[in-house]
Amino acid sequence: MITVNLRPDLKRKRARSPLAGVVEAVRGLRVGGKVKDPLLLACAASWIGVLGWLGYVVVSTTTELNALEPQLEATRSEHKRFKAFLAEKRHQETIRDSLVAQIGVIRTVDGDRYVWAHVLDEVTKALPAYTWLVDMSNTAPAAAPTAAPAPGAQNDSTGSDSVATPAAVAFEVNGRTVDIQAYTRFLRQLEASPWITDVTPVSAQTVVEKERPVTAFTIRATYRQADSAYIRTVPLSESVR
């Protein structure tokens, strides 16, 4: 088919691609040919370099992303596991704080309930033979020691050291003995008790009771909370098979 241009003064306009010039320039290059436009050659080389760099970036990024996918999944699973662990830890800490608060209340209520039971038990253990007690009374109570918190110490959530210990109880014992050595042995055994301190003999004199000479003595001492190493606990009930 032959096409005749009846209007040679007008050129046909065609839509051209932005890379058309580069493509034509590349086609115009021949091996061993003479470079007529160095700027065109530099532009073509720049485009080739940019395209190569973009291709390298895309390939390397895709490879790195594929390599990091397993690590991402492992990290997500670890995050879920540690999140559940922290939630359980907070739950256990809440239960612990509640139990510690209840134990503190119980210790506050029962702090001095069994003081005289301890006093009578220790005096009975220290009482030698041929010695008996006439009476035992409470004297002026000593002030309860309050432990001041250490400077800069943080508040402990357990609160085990913040529970007030029972106040020291001063008491006086009046007794009789038929042997003066039993009286001195009674003093030594009271001093050896971890629950009894400040054992002081007040008086010791010979009196006549039921037509027999006996030694009447008076001793003052103080009950204090013993060290935890001397405290022995037993269960309230045991299952018997």
Calpha distance 19→50 (Å, rounded): 14
pTM of the model as a whole: 0.47
Q: How many domains in the chain?
A: 2
Strand partners, 209: 212
188 and 216 co-located in one domain? yes
121 and 220 co-located in one domain? yes
Instruction: Supply the pLDDT for residue 148.
Output: 41
Q: Domain limits at 79?
A: 18-28+35-110
Residue 236 lies in a domain: no
| Spans of the chain below 70 pLDDT | 1, 4-36, 111, 140-167, 234-241
Instruction: Supply the pLDDT for residue 87.
Output: 93
Instruction: Supply the pLDDT for residue 145.
Output: 44
Instruction: Supply the pLDDT for residue 199.
Output: 92
Residue 149 lies in a domain: no
Alpha-helix residue ranges (DSSP H) falling in 11-37: 20-28
Instruction: Supply the pLDDT for residue 172.
Output: 94
79 and 124 co-located in one domain? no
Instruction: Supply the pLDDT for residue 158.
Output: 43
Instruction: Supply the pLDDT for residue 104.
Output: 86
Q: How is the beta sheet containing 131-138 ordered, strand by strand?
A: 131-138, 169-177, 212-223, 196-209
Instruction: Supply the pLDDT for residue 94.
Output: 94
Instruction: Supply the pLDDT for residue 161.
Output: 44
Residue 106 lies in a domain: yes
Residue 217 CB coordination number (10 Å): 23
Instruction: Supply the pLDDT for residue 149.
Output: 44
230 exposed, middle or buried (CB, 10 Å; 0-12, 13-18, 19+)?
Answer: exposed
